[in-house]
Amino acid sequence: MGLFPELKSKKRKTVSEPKGMELMKGMVWTAVGVIGISFLTTSVSIAWRTIPALVGIIFCIVGGRKIHGYVLAYKAYKAFVPSWDAGRGMYDRFAQELNAWHENDIVPTCCDGDTLYFLKLQKERLKKKGLKMTDQIVPVKGSGFGTATLSHQSLWYTTDMTYENIHRRIRFENMQEVVYEREVEQVMYEIIVHTPNDAQLANITTTCPNCGAVSSVTVLEEGCKYCGTHFKIRDLFPRVVNLYFLKNKSTAATSGIVQRTIFFSMLAVFIVMLLISIFDGMDSLPAVLATCFCAAGFGGGVLGLILADILVIFSAADQDGMKHVPFFKWTGSKRKITNTMKQYDPHFSFDKFEGQIVALIRMAVFAEHPEKLACYCAGQRDPGFSDILEMTYTNATCLNRMWMEGSILHMSLRTWWINYSEHQGKIQKTGDCIDVEISRNVAGMEPPGFSITSVGCANCGGSFDAVRQKVCPYCGTEYHMENEGWVIHNMHL
């Protein structure tokens, strides 16, 4: 049994990266062959010149074939274009939908209402600033772990944390030109909720895929009371409830760094040794070549390996500008929040909690009038938030403090982001921390499937969008979101 017994991995069909060892073998065979051929320049008898030369030609042919095979593999690798396959599951389907949304404004159907609402708010801000953002995501090339899934089962449903190495291209353009473009390799995480417990269907609320009203799963199966549409479980689940990215080079990219560094290191040592031999006066070309090749193979190879290790370490340490995350505080925060919340809700899920906080912050940042949000009680917003165009959550949340006021639980959190902001027509990428103070009434258990963008009135049962309205449009009752979920009391960069 592994460290994570629930962890599953699904390989993706791809073209493997060219093997550097084959190139190395070809170079060794060729080097030995060149030394053999160089015997033709010596003054020894014709037999002692011809035999090594013939053997050298054979060695060069073998080496050339291996190098040619490497070149073909490299060309096939470069020409291969990876793509998503909707038949593989929700991870691929949502990735396809994200690309279609940014490219052609096709509305995603695989995510929950809160994620979709953030995407719409983001697009509204881009239009207001006269910009278009293209965010294209494709699987990385080469061998890797494929699509990995770590599952967690609760009373209500099963939650999957699914992730894979991806290649991401972000571009911002106005009416005249591209103002910013960047390509980066990351790991894309999707939190997917699926497989609801049949015994709890009457208690699990979700938004109607047709009209957006909130109802229990049982009601939607019988027919939405607002639009009359009937649904099956497969129409309602699974749903992507959170999305975030972490910078991480793929195996192929790391292998490429090592191969290129060693190759150029060996080449540099060979050239230096050859020049030294020329200036010192060459006695015997075979001896000179043998010395140069040996120096390049051993000295250059070792030097290249050391340099490659240093580059890989620096590459791994590069967090894409993200501010430092205190590791022990980060791991301890998750444990402390989980232990505290389980006192009030035995079925508390940290992944679901984290997804809600991310959704709250994104809405508060991108909303044109945050003061109208039922989930926002923080007063005037930090002016810096108005320039943000894209927010990449980096899966880091630390608890600063926690306290109770009656039945209201307060938390002060620090969250880590990579943000893209517009300032005077230029796009800037920054690693930011967003501090947020949240609260909620823990006297009652949070309803599973709770959505910020569509809630039910406790007085009349009417469904409305709590993001835009704090008062029920049907009966006029003021809506207090803290009784259902988390609200923001303070937020700043």
pLDDT given for residue 452 in this prediction:
59
pLDDT beyond 80 at 146: yes
pLDDT category of residue 222 using cuts at 50, 70 and 90: confident
Distance, in Å, from the CA atom of 119 to the CA atom of 99, rounded to the nearest integer, reads 12
Cα 321 to the center of its chain, rounded Å: 15
The mean pLDDT of 347-364, rounded to a whole number, is 84
Cα 160 to the center of its chain, rounded Å: 15
pLDDT beyond 50 at 381: yes
pLDDT beyond 80 at 470: no
pLDDT given for residue 246 in this prediction:
80
pLDDT category of residue 316 using cuts at 50, 70 and 90: low
Among 66-80, 228-242, 310-324, 370-384, the minimum mean pLDDT is found in: 310-324
pLDDT given for residue 259 in this prediction:
83
The two tokens of residue 460 are: 């009349």
What percent of the chain is modeled with pLDDT above 70?
A: 93
| SS3 category, 243 | strand
pLDDT category of residue 143 using cuts at 50, 70 and 90: confident
Distance, in Å, from the CA atom of 342 to the CA atom of 353, rounded to the nearest integer, reads 12
pLDDT given for residue 4 in this prediction:
47
pLDDT beyond 60 at 450: no
pLDDT beyond 90 at 287: no
pLDDT beyond 50 at 204: yes
pLDDT given for residue 437 in this prediction:
96
Q: Where are the domains of the chain?
A: 7-81+251-317, 86-195+238-248+322-492
| SS3 category, 128 | helix
Distance, in Å, from the CA atom of 475 to the CA atom of 435, rounded to the nearest integer, reads 36
pLDDT category of residue 6 using cuts at 50, 70 and 90: low
Q: With both helix axes pointing from N to C terminus, report the angle between 350-366 and 327-341 in degrees, rounded to the nearest 10.
A: 110
pLDDT given for residue 144 in this prediction:
73
pLDDT beyond 50 at 1: no
In sequence order, the 6+-apart residues with CB closer than 8 A to the CB of 470 are 372, 374, 478, 479
pLDDT beyond 60 at 25: yes
Residue with tokens 């894409």: 320
pLDDT beyond 80 at 493: yes
pLDDT beyond 80 at 39: yes
Distance, in Å, from the CA atom of 298 to the CA atom of 242, rounded to the nearest integer, reads 50
Q: Which residues of 393-423 are buried (b: 16+ CB within 10 A; e: fewer)?
A: bbbbbbbeeeeeeeeebebbbbbbbbbbbbe
Distance, in Å, from the CA atom of 223 to the CA atom of 290, rounded to the nearest integer, reads 82
pLDDT given for residue 44 in this prediction:
79
Q: Average model confidence (pLDDT) for the chain?
A: 85
pLDDT given for residue 438 in this prediction:
95
pTM beyond 0.85 = no
pLDDT given for residue 2 in this prediction:
42
Torsion angles phi and psi, residue 216, rounded to 5: -75, 160
Distance, in Å, from the CA atom of 101 to the CA atom of 132, rounded to the nearest integer, reads 12
Of 493, 465, 492, give the one whose Cα is nearest residue 479.
465
Apex CA 153: angle with CA 215 and CA 150, to 5°?
A: 115
pLDDT given for residue 455 in this prediction:
72
pLDDT category of residue 196 using cuts at 50, 70 and 90: confident
pLDDT given for residue 332 in this prediction:
94
Q: What is the pLDDT of residues 409-424, one digit of tens each?
A: 999 999 999 999 998 8
Give 438's strand partners.
411, 488
The mean pLDDT of 471-489, rounded to a whole number, is 80
pLDDT given for residue 448 in this prediction:
61
For residue 237, the number of C-alpha atoms closer than 13 Å in the C-beta half-sphere is 23
pLDDT category of residue 318 using cuts at 50, 70 and 90: low
pLDDT given for residue 483 in this prediction:
74
Distance, in Å, from the CA atom of 317 to the CA atom of 332, rounded to the nearest integer, reads 22
Among 150-159, 286-295, 308-317, 398-407, the minimum mean pLDDT is found in: 308-317
